[in-house]
Amino acid sequence: MEVTEIFRGILLLLLIVCAIAVNLTKKLLQAVIIFMSYSSIMCILWILMESPDLAITEAAVGAGVSGILFLMTLKKIGSEENNEQPGQAPTEEKP
């Protein structure tokens, strides 16, 4: 097994971990940051798959602009203000 294969395997594992962690995180801010790291990992994977066009777009849009838009939305809905209770999503309604 080559080194790049191992590297790719590690990255794919991290990708799955990130994808699951986004869903399981209770705090929205952390979820956004994990989503941005997901995009960064995907960007490296695109380079490994020899499509640098997509890698540039993924880095600029996925990790950059969409993350900023998510953060602006968090600010708009005011989830930063009632983030004091740990382990509970601010917008989640309890049944």
**Residue selected from 6, 7, 26, 57 as contacting other proteins according to rule CB under 8 A:** 57
Site map 3..42 versus other proteins, x via CB under 8 A = ----------------------------------------
How far, in Å, are 3, 78, 84, 86, 92 from residue 95 at the CA level? 49, 21, 21, 19, 9
Q: In whole angstroms, what is the distance from residue 69 CA to residue 19 CA?
A: 19
Which CB sits closer to other proteins, 10 or 61? 61
Q: In angstroms, what is the minimal distance from the CB of 3 to other proteins? A: 18
Copy the structure tokens of residue 88. 């509970």
Query: Which residues of this protein are in contact with other proteins, per CB under 8 A?
Result: 49, 51-53, 55-57, 60-61, 64-65, 68-69, 72-73, 75-76, 95
